[in-house]
């Protein structure tokens, strides 16, 4: 008997495929994020600009010693100094050169007064205080010649070890990936979800037979795709334009992506917690900033946590981003493998569990 | 008690709208498509819905009227399984809404009051998304054509005019071919042309056999559109019946309105000057 009251005729399924719903709930939000100017700017253009700046900082290195030469000097000492590699002489008037030394434009002022070689240095400049070492070598050699010593009893032989060329970009780039992941995980999730909540987009979705978990998994997957793309763009930009080195090539690259995914999943948990806890952007904004800004500054994103006073270091070293940065840096600069960074990942996992427990307790759909 | 409705119910085709309308709920053995019993919902100290019972017959347009804060939206959202009541029972199309919310969600279409849609997605993409959420296949362009939104296929929801937004929202409520749709203040904020056009669309949907439950603040709309009404205030239902029956009831108490003979209203002037055409562009 067909019944009016309980007809299944033509009805949509009560439990539609969650796989199809999940794919749609990942793909369409990803499309939407791709069209969001703010996401694209802060997620992609911003880190690339940072990398460009840090790449340029890294290229400013030791430029040699600039010495001012007071006019009128001449003789064998001058010839010896002029022949030193890495030393540039700038002849000029004594008062003018002294002024430039004070300003740090040059590293020393040389006056040749017969047998006296007078070098003025700027005690405030470390490079200026190195200048006497350079001249001492030249003066010693002349002294030996004048004394008729052709075969000195002691000789200094310097051997160089070919080390990894460590530049600031090598430190900064892994930190930039960490910072991008934290931004995407927190700000993207918090503001994205609160908007969907306030504009009743989530509620409208809840009026369909889809499961809440499928909606969240879709959101998380879309964010994960964006975050991995960010990591790839940052790495590619660093490798292509600033000679960022991947110790084990593709293996390092893939491991960095794996760490990025892990980090993002942890940060997403905090994003969900804040988005679930706060009803409005006004409330969520300060809390999201309170969570992210200290980590940007304290987690070794721009500089090593070793520069902090002893009391601050335990705090700085326990933050989730610190552990992600440490793991990324170990992989990116030392070629560490997954086992080597397991301790950092373990701490990160503890943070992640804490985040999801808090999120599960506070989350409200609408 | 979902099962007992199936007893002694004639097949769907044999029930005409006129028959359904002529029967008072609960009297005939004809099963209502929505049956609400003793519904109560508190938010802290505030009682939003205070023990209401009513039934909606299949195929009718049922209106819930009431001032702001009367409990209309809360009532709808409980039936839509978006909120859980503190007390009471709700059956939709014979399904227990409290025990089997997903089966209810599959059978209903929902237009929320002032709801928005995912930003940055085109209307066509939004239809694709909702089709996936309902687990159905739909022809997105045909759906948009039907609601006069064909040229807006590539636009986002946020770019639409008020009337277009309501039409799109209505379109999404029908994707799963629901037995009942719920429209929460569908015409609030629309100009007279858009309102009249939406009335036509709602009548069309009714003529295809879909039951419509709506809330409104406009008495003219309720009188023209609704087969039956419930008037709510402070969480209680004060009266139910067809608009004519409610008016007759009032007149029977001796109520007389000072009659000013008016052959046309200001709205008639407005429509005759500005025409019936939709002004969405």
CATH number at B14 reads 3.40.50.300
> Which residues of chain B have a CB within 8 Å of the CB of A366?
82
B-interface mutation test, from A1, A2, A6, most B Cβ less than 10 A away = A6
Q: Predicted confidence band at B9 (pLDDT cuts at 50, 70, 90)?
A: very low
Write out the residue range of the structural domain in which residue B201 sits.
2-117+178-274
Q: Which of B130, B122, B111, B123 lies closest to B148, judged by CA?
A: B123
Asked whether residue B261 is assigned to any structural domain, the reply reads: yes
Amino acid B18: pLDDT: 41
Q: How confident is the model at residue B29 (pLDDT cuts 50, 70, 90)?
A: very low
Cα separation of A270 and B51, whole Å? 41
Q: Is B124 on the interface with A (CB under 8 A)?
A: no
| Chain A: closest CA distance from residue B276 (Å) | 31
- B131: Cα within 13 Å, side-chain hemisphere: 13
Q: Is B106 on the interface with A (CB under 8 A)?
A: yes
With a cut of 60, say whether residue B16 has pLDDT above it.
Answer: no
ipTM of the complex: 0.83
Residue B162 inside a domain? The answer is no
Higher pLDDT, B48 or A57: B48
Of A10, A28, A200, the CB nearest to B112: A200
Residue A3 reports pLDDT greater than 60: no
- Name the minimum distance, in Å, from the CA of A179 to any CA of chain B: 26
Any domain includes B122: no
Residues B134, B175: contact at Cβ < 8 Å? yes
B112 in reach of chain A (CB within 8 A): yes
- The pLDDT-based confidence of A327 (bands split at 50, 70, 90) is very high
When CB atoms are compared, the residue of A7, A21, A206 closest to B12 is: A7
Residues of chain A in contact with residue B116, where contact means CB-CB under 8 angstroms, are: 199-201
For residue B135, being part of any structural domain is answered with no
Question: What CA–CA distance (Å, rounded) separates A358 from A151?
Answer: 77
Mean pLDDT of A234-262: 90
pLDDT at A114: 73
Closest residue on chain A to B179 (Cα): A11
Give the integer Cα–Cα distance in Å for B144 and B160: 13
Chain A residues whose beta carbon lies within 8 Å of the beta carbon of residue B6: 1, 3, 5-6
Q: Which of B81, B110, B118 sits opposite A201 (nearest CB)?
A: B118
Q: Which domains does chain A have, with CATH numbers?
A: 19-58+167-362 (no CATH), 65-146 (3.40.190.10)
H or E stretch covering B37: strand B34-43
Q: Is the model's pLDDT at B212 over the cut of 80?
A: yes
E-only strand ranges, A80-140: 87-92, 108-113, 116-120
Q: In chain B, whose CA is at the least distance from the CA of A199?
A: B116
Does residue B56 lie in a domain region?
Answer: yes
Average pLDDT, chain B: 87
Per-residue confidence band for B96, with pLDDT thresholds at 50, 70 and 90? very high
Query: Within an 8 Å CB–CB cutoff, is residue B28 touching chain A?
Result: no
Q: How confident is the model at residue B210 (pLDDT cuts 50, 70, 90)?
A: very high
pLDDT at B280: 60
Give the model's confidence band at A276: pLDDT under 50 very low, under 70 low, under 90 confident, else very high: confident
Overall average pLDDT of the A245-273 stretch: 92
Residue B241 φ/ψ, nearest 5 degrees? 155, 180
Structural domain includes residue B194: yes
Give pLDDT, residue A2. Answer: 37
Kindly state the tokens that stand for A156.
Answer: 């200094």
**B130 touching A (Cβ < 8 Å):** yes
Mean pLDDT, range A330-337, rounded to an integer: 88
Domains: count for chain B: 1
- The answer to whether residue A325 scores a pLDDT higher than 80 is yes
* pLDDT over threshold 60, residue B230: yes
pLDDT at residue B25 in the model: 43
- C-alpha to C-alpha distance for A332 and A165, rounded to whole angstroms: 13
Residue A90 — very low, low, confident or very high, per pLDDT cuts 50/70/90? confident
Task: Look at residue B93 in the predicted model and tell me its pLDDT.
Answer: 94
Task: Kindly indicate the confidence band of residue B22, based on its pLDDT and cuts at 50, 70 and 90.
Answer: very low
What number is the average pLDDT over the span B168-187?
95
Listed in sequence order, the DSSP H helices in B120-242 are 123-134, 140-146, 162-173, 192-207, 219-225
Cα angle B156, B208, B37 (rounded to 5 degrees) comes to 90
Taking contacts as CB-CB distances below 8 angstroms, the residues of chain B near A191 are none
The DSSP line for A182-232 is: HHIIIIIHHHHHHHHHHTTHHHHHHTSS--HHHHHHHHHHHHHHHHHHHHH
Q: Is the pLDDT of residue A254 over 90?
A: yes
- Tens digits of residue pLDDT in A142-180: 888 888 877 777 877 777 766 555 677 888 889 989 999
Round the average pLDDT of chain A to a whole number and report it: 84
Is the minimum CB–CB distance between B54 and chain A shorter than 8 Å?
no
| Residue among B82, B115, B121 minimizing CB distance to A32 | B121
**pLDDT number for residue A364:** 79
Kindly tell me if the per-residue pLDDT of B4 is higher than 60. no
More confident residue, B118 or A1: B118
Q: Scanning every residue of chain B, which has its alpha carbon at the shortest distance from the alpha carbon of A366?
A: B82
**Per-residue pLDDT at A4:** 40
Q: What is the rounded average pLDDT of the residues B38-55?
A: 95
Give the pLDDT score at A163: 58
DSSP A42: I
Q: Of A3-7, A331-335, B146-150, B247-251, give the lowest mean pLDDT range.
A: A3-7
In angstroms, what separates the C-alpha of A31 from chain B's closest C-alpha? 7
Instruction: Report the predicted TM-score, pTM, of the whole model to 2 decimal places.
Output: 0.77
CB contact under 8 A, B136 and A16: yes
Between residues B94 and A362, the one the model is more confident about: B94
Query: What's residue B246's pLDDT?
Result: 93
CA-closest candidate to residue A173, choices A105, A107, A253: A253
Of B230, B233, B231, which Cα lies nearest the Cα of B25? B230
Chain A contact set for B112 (CB, 8 A): 200, 203-204, 207
Q: How confident is the model at residue A281 (pLDDT cuts 50, 70, 90)?
A: confident
B48 in a structural domain: yes
Domain presence at residue B94: yes
> Chain A partners of B178 at a C-beta cutoff of 8 Å?
12
- Residue A321's nearest CA partner among A343, A299, A304, A350 is A299
Of A7 and B35, which is predicted with more confidence? B35
Determine the number of helices (DSSP H) and then strands (DSSP E) in chain B: 10, 10
Nearest residue to A16 via CA among B107, B256, B197: B107
Partner-chain contact A201 B15, CB within 8 Å = no
Q: What is the pLDDT of residue A212?
A: 86
Q: Judge whether B68 is closer than 8 Å to chain A, CB to CB.
A: no
- The partner residue sitting opposite A203, judged by closest CB among B11, B112, B179, is B112
Residue of A nearest to B8 (CA): A3
Q: Residue B118: which of A10, A23, A28 has the nearest Cβ? A: A28
A204, A226, A365, best to mutate vs chain B, most B CBs in 10 Å: A204
- CB nearest to B133's CB, from A11, A24, A33: A24
Percent with pLDDT over 70 in chain A:
93
pLDDT at position A159? 77
Count how many pairs of residues, chain A against chain B, have C-beta atoms within 8 Å: 147
Classify the phi-psi angles of A158: left when phi > 0, otherwise alpha if psi is within -120 to 50, otherwise beta. Answer: beta
């Amino acid at each position: 008997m067909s019944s009016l009251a309980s007809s299944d005729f033509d009805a949509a399924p009560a439990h539609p495929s969650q796989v199809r719903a999940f794919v749609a709930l990942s793909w369409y939000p990803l499309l939407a994020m791709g069209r969001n100017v703010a996401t694209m700017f802060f997620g992609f253009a911003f880190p690339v600009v940072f990398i460009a700046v840090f790449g340029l900082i890294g290229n400013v290195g030791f430029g040699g010693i600039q010495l001012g030469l007071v006019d009128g000097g001449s003789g064998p000492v001058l010839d010896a100094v002029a022949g030193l590699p890495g030393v540039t002489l700038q002849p000029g008037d004594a008062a003018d050169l002294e002024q430039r030394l004070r300003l740090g434009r040059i590293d020393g002022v040389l006056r040749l007064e017969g047998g006296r070689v007078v070098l003025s240095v700027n005690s405030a400049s470390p490079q200026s205080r190195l200048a006497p070492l350079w001249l001492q070598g030249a003066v010693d050699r002349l002294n030996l010649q004048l004394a008729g010593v052709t075969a000195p009893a002691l000789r200094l032989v310097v051997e160089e070890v070919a080390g990894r060329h460590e530049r600031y970009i090598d430190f900064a780039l892994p930190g930039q990936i960490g910072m991008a992941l934290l931004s995407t995980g927190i700000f993207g999730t918090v503001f994205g979800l609160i908007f969907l909540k306030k504009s009743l987009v989530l509620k409208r979705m809840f009026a369909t037979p889809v499961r809440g978990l499928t909606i969240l998994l879709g959101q998380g997957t879309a964010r994960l795709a964006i975050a991995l793309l960010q990591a790839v763009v940052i790495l590619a930009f660093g490798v292509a334009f600033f000679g960022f080195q991947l110790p084990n090539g593709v293996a390092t690259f893939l491991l960095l992506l794996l760490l990025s995914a892990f980090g993002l999943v942890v940060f997403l948990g905090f994003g969900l917690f804040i988005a679930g806890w706060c009803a409005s952007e006004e409330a969520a904004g300060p809390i999201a900033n309170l969570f992210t800004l200290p980590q940007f500054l304290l987690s070794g994103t721009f500089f090593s946590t070793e520069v902090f006073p002893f009391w601050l270091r335990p705090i700085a070293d326990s933050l989730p981003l610190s552990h992600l940065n440490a793991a990324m840096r170990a992989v990116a600069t030392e070629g560490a493998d997954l086992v080597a960074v397991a301790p950092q990942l373990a701490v990160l996992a503890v943070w992640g569990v804490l985040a999801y427990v808090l999120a599960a307790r506070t989350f409200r759909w609408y | 008690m979902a099962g007992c409705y199936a007893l002694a119910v004639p097949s769907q085709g044999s029930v005409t709208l006129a028959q359904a309308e002529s029967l008072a709920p609960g009297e005939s053995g004809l099963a209502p498509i929505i049956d609400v019993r003793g519904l109560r919902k508190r938010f802290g100290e505030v009682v939003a819905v205070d023990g209401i019972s009513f039934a909606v017959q299949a195929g009718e347009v049922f209106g819930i009227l009431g001032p702001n804060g009367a409990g209309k939206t809360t009532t709808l959202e409980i039936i839509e399984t978006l909120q859980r009541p503190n007390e009471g029972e709700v059956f939709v199309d014979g399904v227990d809404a409290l025990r089997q919310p997903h089966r209810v969600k599959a059978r209903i279409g929902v237009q929320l009051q002032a709801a928005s849609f995912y930003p940055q997605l085109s209307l066509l993409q939004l239809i694709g998304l909702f089709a996936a959420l309902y687990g159905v296949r739909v022809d997105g362009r045909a759906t948009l054509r039907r609601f006069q939104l064909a040229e807006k296929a590539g636009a986002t929801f946020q770019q639409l005019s008020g009337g277009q937004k309501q039409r799109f929202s209505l379109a999404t409520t029908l994707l799963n071919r629901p037995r009942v749709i719920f429209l929460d203040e569908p015409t609030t904020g629309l100009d007279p042309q858009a309102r009249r056009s939406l009335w036509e669309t709602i009548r069309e949907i009714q003529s295809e056999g879909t039951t419509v439950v709506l809330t409104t603040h406009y008495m003219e709309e309720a009188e023209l559109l609704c087969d039956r009404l419930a008037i709510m205030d402070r969480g209680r239902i004060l009266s139910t019946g067809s608009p004519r029956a409610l008016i007759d009831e009032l007149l029977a108490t001796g109520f007389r309105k000072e009659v000013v003979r008016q052959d046309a209203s200001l709205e008639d002037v407005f429509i005759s000057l500005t025409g019936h055409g939709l002004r969405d562009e």
